[in-house]
C-alpha cells in the first residue's frame, strides 16, 4: 500500500533541510501549465502517469485529487521553510480558475435539480435521468426501457449551454417568442352532439314546445361554451417579453429566469435539444422554432370571450325557432305559456 507524502510534492529532505526535488519541480511547473491551458485534473493525472512521475517513492499512481492539492498548495510560493518553485502570477491564475470552476460546478449541481424536472425524451415523452459512469463522467439518457438509448453522451454543459443559447437568442430577438396559434379551441363532446340532435328532433316534431326548445338551446350554448379551451399563450408571451426586455446577455444560468420562462426541454436520440417556453413556443438550434401544438382549430374568442362557431349556430337555431314560431302563430296554432292564444 502506498504511503502518504509527509513532505509536499516538489520538495525533499536533504541533510536535515527541506529543498527542491528537480524532477518534481519540473512536474509542478508542467501541472500548472497544463491546467492553465485547459487540461482537466484527470487529464493531468494521466499525463503524470504516462511520464512515469512518482507521486510517492513507492507509487506512480495519480488521481485528480493529487493534482488539485498541488495546484492549491501555497507552500509552492515559498515560505521560511519551503523554497519557492512556482511564480506567484501563475499560481494566482491557476487558483482563480480552480475556484471559478468549483463555484460553477456547485451552481450547476443545484440548478440541475430544476433542469432534470423538466427534461424529456423527444421520441417517447419519458423523463430523462442523469447518471455518472465509472470515471465520474455524467451522462443523460431516456428513462423508458423500451426507448432507444442516446447515440452520443449527453452532458450537463450541453443542456445548460442550449438553454443559455435559447434565452440569449430570445433576449436579442423577441420575435422568436411570438405564438401563432388561435386564442381558443372548440371541441364538442358527445353530450353536446347528443343535445344538438335532441333539439333538432324537437324542432322537427309536429307539436313544438317553443319555450322548451329555446331553453334547451341556451343549455346547449352553455355546454358548448364549456367545450372551449382558452389558450393563454398571448398572455404568457407578454410575460416572457417583460422578463427578457432590456435583459443583459447571460454568461451563466439564471435559474430564476429559467423557471419563469421555460416549460420543458426536449432532447432527441441524436442529442438535438429543443427548449419549450411557457407560451408553447419551441426554440431549437437557436433559430428554428415551431409551436408546441399543431394547428389549432379555426375557433377564436370574440370580444365577449365566446367561440363564434357555436355562438353563430346558437343565434341561427333561435332564429329558426322564432321564424317557425311566427309562421305557426300566424296560422293561430300557437299558445302562450298560460294556454291562451296570443
Predicted local confidence at residue 108, as pLDDT = 52
Q: pLDDT for 199-246, tens place per residue?
A: 888 888 888 888 888 888 888 888 887 777 666 788 888 999 999 998
Can you tell me which residue has the cell 426586455? 245
Q: Which three cell numbers stand for residue 342?
A: 296570443
Q: pLDDT for 46-69, tens place per residue?
A: 999 999 999 988 888 999 899 999
Task: Please report which confidence band the pLDDT of residue 315 belongs to, taking 50, 70 and 90 as the band edges.
Answer: very low
Q: What is 301-333 written as a DSSP string?
A: --TTS--HHHHHHHHHHHHHHHHHHHHHHHTT-
Angle at 27 between CA 26 and CA 33, to 5 degrees: 90
Amino acid at each position: 500500500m502506498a504511503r502518504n507524502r509527509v513532505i509536499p510534492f516538489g520538495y525533499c529532505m536533504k541533510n536535515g533541510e527541506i529543498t527542491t526535488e528537480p524532477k518534481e519541480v519540473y512536474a509542478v511547473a508542467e501541472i500548472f501549465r497544463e491546467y492553465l491551458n485547459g487540461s482537466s485534473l484527470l487529464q493531468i493525472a494521466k499525463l503524470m502517469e504516462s511520464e512515469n512521475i512518482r507521486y510517492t517513492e513507492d507509487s506512480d499512481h495519480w488521481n485528480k485529487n493529487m493534482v488539485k492539492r498541488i495546484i492549491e498548495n501555497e507552500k509552492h510560493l515559498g515560505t521560511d521553510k519551503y523554497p519557492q518553485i512556482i511564480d506567484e502570477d501563475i499560481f494566482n491564475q491557476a487558483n482563480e480558475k480552480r475556484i471559478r470552476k468549483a463555484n460553477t460546478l456547485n451552481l450547476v449541481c443545484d440548478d440541475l435539480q430544476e433542469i432534470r424536472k423538466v427534461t424529456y425524451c423527444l421520441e417517447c415523452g419519458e423523463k430523462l435521468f442523469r447518471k455518472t459512469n465509472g470515471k465520474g463522467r455524467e451522462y443523460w439518457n431516456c428513462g423508458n426501457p423500451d426507448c432507444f438509448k442516446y447515440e452520443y453522451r449527453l452532458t450537463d454543459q450541453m443542456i445548460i449551454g442550449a438553454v443559455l443559447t435559447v434565452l440569449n437568442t430570445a433576449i436579442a430577438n423577441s420575435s422568436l417568442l411570438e405564438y401563432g396559434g388561435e386564442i381558443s379551441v372548440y371541441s364538442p363532446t358527445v353530450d353536446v352532439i347528443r343535445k344538438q340532435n335532441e333539439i333538432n328532433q324537437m324542432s322537427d316534431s309536429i307539436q313544438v314546445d317553443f319555450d322548451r326548445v329555446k331553453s334547451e338551446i341556451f343549455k346547449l350554448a352553455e355546454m358548448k361554451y364549456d367545450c372551449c379551451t382558452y389558450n393563454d399563450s398571448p398572455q404568457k408571451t407578454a410575460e416572457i417579453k417583460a422578463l427578457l426586455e432590456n435583459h443583459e446577455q447571460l454568461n451563466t444560468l439564471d435559474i430564476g429566469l429559467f423557471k419563469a420562462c421555460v416549460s420543458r426541454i426536449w432532447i432527441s436520440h441524436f442529442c438535438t435539444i429543443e427548449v419549450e417556453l411557457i407560451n408553447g413556443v419551441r426554440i431549437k438550434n437557436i433559430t428554428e422554432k415551431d409551436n408546441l401544438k399543431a394547428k389549432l382549430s379555426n375557433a377564436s374568442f370574440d370580444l365577449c370571450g365566446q367561440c363564434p362557431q357555436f355562438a353563430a349556430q346558437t343565434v341561427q337555431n333561435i332564429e329558426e325557432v322564432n321564424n317557425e314560431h311566427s309562421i305557426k302563430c300566424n296560422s293561430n296554432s300557437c299558445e302562450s305559456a298560460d294556454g291562451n292564444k296570443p
